Structure 1
Amino acid sequence: MKIRTITTGISLESLQEKEKIKQAAEFNQQGQIEFEKQGYEVQTTRIATNSWEEYLQPLSKSEVINEIQSLEQLCQSLNIHFFNIGYADKPETIAIIPDINKNTSIIYCSSKIGDRQTGINFENARESAKVIKCISQETENGYGNFRFCAWANCQPNIPFFPTAYHTGNTSFSIGLELGDLVMEAFSQAHDILPAEQKLQLLLEVELKKIAVIAEKISDKFQVLYTGIDTSLAPSLDKENSIAFAYEKLMDGKFGNSGTLAISGMLTRVLKNVSVKICGYSGLMLPVCEDVGLATRANEQTYDITNLLLYSAVCGCGLDTVPIPGDITIEKITAILIDMATLAIKLNKPLSSRLFPIPNKKAGEMTRFNSPYLVDCKIFTVD
């Protein structure tokens, strides 16, 4: 089991609070050292802030871009590789995101398109669709959308990017990569019930170890610990693929009958581990971040509608899904609204990170040049 991220959240009133950013970076480094002393691999450390509207709102578009570029330079000087400026919640600020994306390389952000209290914000959904389309056209192979998503009903303290944002006092959360434990549990079982019981036992043991270390770090450095996001983060390692783990229990391939039941079972386990949890704590199915999911996408064993269906009983929504480059803003908007409808109706956090691929159609292969993504065929969007 690997620690995917230690994510520290800070609240800013302006980007002049450089000391607060520096302190967060130093805390992340110390936290990484503490976990590595116990034999854990920490893949990344990250920082997330409150909504950037709160500390950049009075500025003009060009001033916002300049401030965020200066922020990125500071991050690079502090060896920070993942920094999230939170979300935009107004159409006019959502509209600035393509320029932020184009002029930075390590800055992540998101847009809010609805929550349980206020319902779906259709104007924000459409503006977010425009952002997705624009970023796809302005970055190589549409890769810029790796650093942007639209979400509904997501709370603070999600450690995973690009959804992460923060409120209140400085705190930290942990994101894990649990594919190896799922594969172990499912390989030792031949049916869904014993697989569930085996996975529950494995997670109880392993996550309690993580929680104990995290609590000690919290006490030692006096930084609030908000919990573990137990979500099954993806793997580019074939042995730990989420999709291939499913197939240990199925008479068929991921996407065939039984996929929904296993998705529901996984989420049931992930939400019922007796440690402090936060964030999604559900099942992630990011198509281009898991070699098994990409393989089955190439074989067309599932589609976007299936992914939305699985989101009803599990995970984080639509993640790293490649779609045709000529898709209309109206169709992207419709996808986002479908996702938001599920999130609000079922009162769960969901997000959409979509990749329109410029000059490519459904069925053609992506050509990403990224250590974080695996190529697969582009999905059809009806």
Structure 2
Amino acid sequence: MRVRAVTIGWTVEWREGKIANAAEIARVPERIRDHFAQVGIELQTVRLATQPFPAVVAPEEVTTYARALCAAAEAAGYDYVSMGPAGPEQRAWASSIVPALVENETLFAAVSVTTDDDRVALPAVEAAGRVISELARRTAGGFGNLRFAALALCPPGIPFFPAAYHDGGEVALSVAWEVADEALAAVTGAQSLGEAERRLEDRLSQVAERLWAVVEALASLLGARPLGIDCSLAPYPDETRSVAAAFERLGLQPFGAPGTLAVAASITSVLQRLQVQRTGFCGLMLPVLEDARLGALAQAGQLQFSTLLVASAVCGVGLDVIPLPGETTAAQLSGLVLDVATLATRLKKPLLARLMPIPDLQPGEAVRFDFSFFAPAAVVPLAGATPQQWFTSEPGQNTGEDKL
């Protein structure tokens, strides 16, 4: 077991073009790292998440604010910082995301594409697709899209980036664990789905209880609100820490074979039964570029886009770090965001779309980034066209008035 991230939620005070309360976050990362070193748990990153940036600055101030926020976070020792999402009606702020992310390589941001009454905001969907398309063109290899997502029904307090943002209250603390290796070991040798589920729950319950005790002690040390653990099953780009490999240990060959959805639902049910304070997604994560087995399947031409989307209905976070053809249009990207947002609103669950068009690459071509959290993969084919006119409606035009 490792900890992918400890995320500190913090309310920024912006006065006269400067961050006025940066002293509040000084030395916090150092204390967090010392705490985990003392208890013998590997900690990968310490992250900072603020309240949504439109609540802090006007659209024309966003790039200045982003620069100051990243400087303050770096000085304090944070690895990454999220300035939160622009809301579904805040298109002027959404337009400022691209230059802010292009300039600041440790910055994350998002656009929320759902309304407070759980409907899909089509103008926000269009804005998200446009941001993804622009980031693909303006960052090397399209890598900037690692740091942007379209959010659907995502609440504050999620420790995973780019979904993380703060509720605006007192300092808070949330934790994202990494236990794919524990899951892989637990299900290996199971003779049935029921046995695998029991073994997985037993093992992860032990790990969760140990980690929660550490988190509570850390929150007390920092004087922060402990929001909980995001118990999502997140992979790392190594076969021994692959979520897709856990499916195949149960006999599915390959991942995506009939029965994949049942396994996804079974694992997710275990994660959501763990008896610790939980926050965030608490689901199964299938990020193509972060999972060594998914990357290998993409290289072999055996990974279907539809499998990943359907799996979102019963498990994970949505469509995450999927390498797409460089020629993917903004309208196609908006269409994918719309599908994810529709699933989220129909099923009343948080999902995101983090899509990565790779400039100049075609379906099936190899994708490799010099980034420790990414595995080798290949561009996943995307067929068909989405009509741009779907997304040219006036602000306030939303889907979802009818209910299932």
Provide Cα deviations, 1:96-117, integer angstroms capped at 9, x if missing partner: 1111111111011111001461
Matched with 1:69 is: 67
8 Å CA contact retained: 1:284, 1:315: yes
The residue type equivalent to 2:364 in the other structure is G
Alpha-carbon RMSD across the aligned residues, in angstroms, is 1.6
8 Å CA contact retained: 1:141, 1:367: no
8 Å CA contact retained: 1:10, 1:49: yes
Rounded to whole Å, the distance in 1 between the matches of 2:187 and 2:224 is 37
Rounded to whole Å, the distance in 2 between the matches of 1:299 and 1:77 is 44
Matched with 2:246 is: 245
For residue 56 of structure 1, report the CA deviation from its aligned partner: 1.0
Provide Cα deviations, 1:62-93, integer angstroms capped at 9, x if missing partner: x3212321322232222222000001111111
Change in CA separation of 1:118 and 1:313 when aligned onto 2, cut-off 3 Å? closer
Rounded to whole Å, the distance in 2 between the matches of 1:155 and 1:81 is 22
Change in CA separation of 1:367 and 1:215 when aligned onto 2, cut-off 3 Å? closer
Matches within 5 A, 1:1-382: 1-14=1-14, 18=19, 20-57=21-58, 60=60, 63-89=61-87, 90-115=90-115, 117-167=117-167, 168-382=169-383
For residue 45 of structure 1, report the CA deviation from its aligned partner: 0.5
Rounded to whole Å, the distance in 2 between the matches of 1:155 and 1:28 is 24
Rounded to whole Å, the distance in 2 between the matches of 1:350 and 1:71 is 26
The residue type equivalent to 2:238 in the other structure is D
Change in CA separation of 1:47 and 1:21 when aligned onto 2, cut-off 3 Å? farther
Task: Report % sequence identity.
Answer: 31
For residue 293 of structure 1, report the CA deviation from its aligned partner: 1.1
SS in 1 for 2:34: helix
Change in CA separation of 1:381 and 1:45 when aligned onto 2, cut-off 3 Å? same
In the alignment of these two chains, the number of paired residues is 379
SS in 2 for 1:371: coil
Rounded to whole Å, the distance in 1 between the matches of 2:236 and 2:333 is 27
Provide Cα deviations, 1:232-291, integer angstroms capped at 9, x if missing partner: 111112212111111110241111112111100110000000000000000110000111
8 Å CA contact retained: 1:156, 1:165: yes
Provide Cα deviations, 1:40-77, integer angstroms capped at 9, x if missing partner: 000001000010001112x52xx321232132223222
SS in 1 for 2:27: helix
Rounded to whole Å, the distance in 2 between the matches of 1:207 and 1:236 is 22
For residue 31 of structure 1, report the CA deviation from its aligned partner: 2.4
Provide Cα deviations, 1:163-207, integer angstroms capped at 9, x if missing partner: 101102210011000111101111131221101000101111111
SS in 2 for 1:114: coil
Gaps of at least 5 residues in structure 2 are 384-404
Rounded to whole Å, the distance in 2 between the matches of 1:171 and 1:314 is 26
8 Å CA contact retained: 1:159, 1:174: yes
Change in CA separation of 1:55 and 1:19 when aligned onto 2, cut-off 3 Å? closer
Rounded to whole Å, the distance in 2 between the matches of 1:115 and 1:152 is 9
Rounded to whole Å, the distance in 2 between the matches of 1:298 and 1:11 is 43
SS in 2 for 1:277: coil
Rounded to whole Å, the distance in 1 between the matches of 2:37 and 2:371 is 26
Rounded to whole Å, the distance in 2 between the matches of 1:231 and 1:121 is 27
Rounded to whole Å, the distance in 2 between the matches of 1:223 and 1:217 is 8
The residue type equivalent to 1:72 in the other structure is C
The residue type equivalent to 1:335 in the other structure is L
8 Å CA contact retained: 1:230, 1:270: yes
8 Å CA contact retained: 1:362, 1:380: yes
The residue type equivalent to 1:317 in the other structure is G
Change in CA separation of 1:123 and 1:269 when aligned onto 2, cut-off 3 Å? same
SS in 2 for 1:56: coil
The residue type equivalent to 1:347 in the other structure is K
The residue type equivalent to 1:344 in the other structure is T
8 Å CA contact retained: 1:243, 1:293: yes
For residue 17 of structure 1, report the CA deviation from its aligned partner: 7.2
Greater Cα offset, 167-176 or 292-301: 292-301
Rounded to whole Å, the distance in 2 between the matches of 1:234 and 1:75 is 26
8 Å CA contact retained: 1:181, 1:203: yes
TM-score normalised by the chain length of structure 1 = 0.95
8 Å CA contact retained: 1:25, 1:80: no
SS in 2 for 1:293: helix
Change in CA separation of 1:196 and 1:4 when aligned onto 2, cut-off 3 Å? same
For residue 333 of structure 1, report the CA deviation from its aligned partner: 0.9
TM-score normalised by the chain length of structure 2 = 0.90
SS in 2 for 1:247: helix
Rounded to whole Å, the distance in 2 between the matches of 1:189 and 1:157 is 35
